[in-house]
Chain A
Amino acid sequence: MPCGDASTDSTCRAVVRSLADVTATLPTPVPTLPDGFVAVVKQDCPTCELVVPALEQIAAGAKLTVYVQDDPSFPASLNPIDDTKLEVSWHHEIETVPTLLQVRGGKEVDRTVGWSREQWEAFTDVTALAPDLPQMRPGCGSLSVDPNLTDELTVRFTGSTLTSRRIELAAMEDEMEAAFDRGWSDGLPVVPPTEARVLRMMEGTTRDGQDIVATVPPDLNDVTVEQIAINAVMAGCKPEYLPVVLAAVEAACSDEFNIHGLLATTYYSGPIIVVNGPIAARIGMNSKGNLLGQGNRANSTIGRALQLVVRNLGGGRPGGVDMSLIGAPSKMGMAFAEREEDSPFTPLAADFGIESGEDAVVLFAGHGPSAVVDQISRTPESLVRTFAANLLAEAHPKLVIGMDAMLIVGPEHGRILREAGWDKARLRAELAPLLTRNSDDLLRGVGGMEEGLPAAFAGVEVPKFREGGLQIVHGGGDAGLFSAILGGWVGGAKGSDPVARRVTL
């Protein structure tokens, strides 16, 4: 059953319970080791059993403290300290048992792992150490790094840093269905946001989990890094994508971008994220084949994370504030990397004051794509006319200035421009006259179409796009004489302006 407002839905109250005692716990501090020698062992380890005589010999002449990870009575002769909670082992990064440490003034000065008579004798200054033992024996895996325990331990020792409400699922509740039932999903399955997954996600940023990133419309909630991380987990992001997601949320929630209006409009558009800079390749984004399609985790999940943030943290969703008539598949989430390596252009972010080579996102309100086919042009003079003809038809051939657009130039088209020395400025300059028409041709009623410009606008030269209304980027696969248009939305103060933000880790 959907659990929108838990305070009024008593059925939800039964399954939604705040684990107040967990969230109130202080973060676990690193336990101090006692001075002298410290051994960490487990009973279920032949090497640990083997070295008991050696430990006894060391203890006879020096201070030795033994911590045991499983059976608190092992080894009986050495008064072991119970570390079955693995607090000491985890905090001191014990990876092998036995590990023998030397501690001075509460600080570890040295350690050795496994059994080696030579190393242990040098370590402890004891001669003829356990002569009946073999020369050496490798250790076993420490329980504190057991893959089956990793998540549980991470949550145990760092989980209290998370402040979000915990939701306990009923024993028979399917965790995938749980998200659908609670209205968290955009229609596709989401990754269940467990504490361990969210903690791992937050390792993707140096920002503190309680940093406020943005005020998200329409509910205008101040949202934190942690809350965004939860939705990034659900989207399927990897931790290294999180800085891009955070920058995108910031950009989207700026006044200039106006995500609130974009969400509420009856128009098709949604937020589109273009990524520039080396981070794109580092996190495995796609700038090439099937650029806007399926198949690349980073592209698919980064856009989706922003959409889930607006849905779950902002409260904006279809059937509610989202009034889009037809929408677009791009509203599920759209993010792509601009293909910078062989581009005829400087990166999109450079148009917004962020230098080429810097990691950045640019948010654009748009939808699409629509096709721009030109398999015959081999000169830029011809190609630019194809671009113009397609751009003039965007939204409606007889409508101008109201809507923005983005032209994605495919690499084979881009090569034609590059080889002729046409950069972005040149392309814009050549497009400008081609995108300008006499308004008489666009008036209402002309061509039998009632849509068009009001009669009052007769007799003037009008550009298709407002100043700054057309964005140009480079992207797509290696082979194919195609480009694409992403239709925009209302530009400027009544609508949205593209917004760029640097990505910081």
Chain B
Amino acid sequence: MTVLLDPTAGKAAASIETVPRPSSLDGLTVGLLDISKPRGAEFLNQLEMRLGAQGATVQRYMKPTFAKPAPVDLRHEIASNCDAVIEALAD
């Protein structure tokens, strides 16, 4: 088994600050990210109804597989269009 030393700088991940949590969802756009687990959509459908009742506008998104981080473009789109995001992460 060959072991090589990494010739790159192997950057450490930058720490990321979260934006402040909104005090109310009224009038805000909330993104719901489906991570492609079975029946996740049904759960998010319920959330969408309840969030709508609180005055939020809901945008639905889906990432192709739960096994990998969301593609960069999708993340950028979500960040550009939403004030808050809920990601379903359960079986």
> Using a CB–CB distance below 8 Å, which chain A residues touch chain B?
5-8, 10, 16, 19, 162, 164-169, 171, 173, 175, 178, 184, 192-195, 198, 216, 219, 221, 223, 227, 230-231, 234, 308, 312-315
How far apart are B75's CB and chain A's nearest CB, in angstroms?
A: 11
Q: Which residues 1-51 of B have a CB within 8 angstroms of A?
A: 1-11, 13
Known contacts A8-B69, A10-B67: does B3 contact A195 (CB below 8 Å)?
yes
Interface contacts beyond A164-B10, A167-B6, A194-B4: sample of 15 additional A-B pairs, CB < 8 Å, sorted by A: A8-B69, A164-B6, A166-B4, A168-B2, A173-B2, A178-B4, A184-B7, A193-B4, A193-B7, A221-B11, A230-B5, A234-B7, A308-B7, A313-B7, A315-B8
Taking a contact as CB atoms under 8 Å apart, the answer to whether A312 and B7 are in contact is yes
Asked if B76 is an interface residue, CB under 8 A from chain A, the answer is: no
A168 to B4, CA, bound (A): 6
Closest to A216 in B: B9
**Nearest B residue to A230 by beta-carbon distance?**
B7
Complex-state Cα separation, A90 to B10, whole angstroms = 33
Residue among A164, A168, A231 with max Cβ neighbours from chain B (10 Å): A164
Interfacial chain B residues near A230, Cβ < 8 Å: 5-7
Nearest 5 CB-CB pairs, A to B? A221-B9, A165-B6, A164-B5, A169-B2, A230-B7
Q: Is the CB of B5 within 8 A of A193?
A: yes
CA A162 to CA B6, docked complex, whole Å: 11
Please report the C-alpha to C-alpha distance between residue A427 and residue B7 in the assembled complex, in whole angstroms.
44
Residues of B bordering A, CB below 8 Å: 1-11, 13, 67-69
Which residues of chain A are near B7, meaning CB under 8 Å?
184, 193, 227, 230-231, 234, 308, 312-313
Specify the chain B residue showing the minimal Cβ separation from A168. Answer: B3
B4 to chain A, nearest CB (A): 5
* A313 near B3: Cβ-Cβ < 8 Å: no
CB–CB B5/A165 < 8 A = yes
Q: Complex formed: what's the CA distance from A192 to B3 in Å?
A: 9
Specify which chain B residues have a CB less than 8 angstroms from the CB of A184 in the assembled complex: 7-8
Shortest Cβ gap from A310 to chain B (Å): 11
A195 touching B5, Cβ below 8 Å: yes
Given known A-B contacts A8-B69, A10-B67, A165 and B10 have beta carbons under 8 A apart: yes
Residue of A169, A216, A219, A312 touching B4 (CB-CB under 8 A): A169
CB distance from B32 to the nearest CB of A (A): 23
Contact check, B11 vs A19: say whether CB atoms are below 8 A apart.
Answer: no
Q: Please name all residues of chain A whose beta carbon is closer than 8 Å to the beta carbon of B11 when the two chains form the complex.
A: 5, 219, 221
How far is A230 from B5 in the complex, measured between Cα atoms in Å? 7
Report the separation of the CA atoms of residues A169 and B1 in the bound assembly, to the nearest whole angstrom: 7
Q: Which of chain B's residues have a CB closer than 8 A to the CB of A178?
A: 2, 4
Q: State A194–B7 Cα separation when bound (angstroms).
A: 11
Say yes or no: A194 contacts B5, CB within 8 Å: yes
Q: Is the CB of B68 within 8 A of A10?
A: yes
Could you say which residues of chain A place their CB within 8 Å of the CB of B10?
Answer: 6, 164-165
A184 to B3, CA, bound (A): 15
Which A residues lie within 8 Å of B68 (CB)? 10
- Contacts A7-B13, A8-B69, A10-B68 given; does A168 touch B1 at CB 8 Å: yes
Query: Which A residues touch B67, using CB under 8 A?
Result: 10
Closest to B65 in A: A10
User: What's the least CB distance linking A320 to chain B, in Å?
Assistant: 13
Q: Chain B contacts of A19 at CB under 8 A?
A: 3
Report the bound CA distance from A475 to B26 in whole Å: 76
A194–B2 contact, CB under 8 A? yes
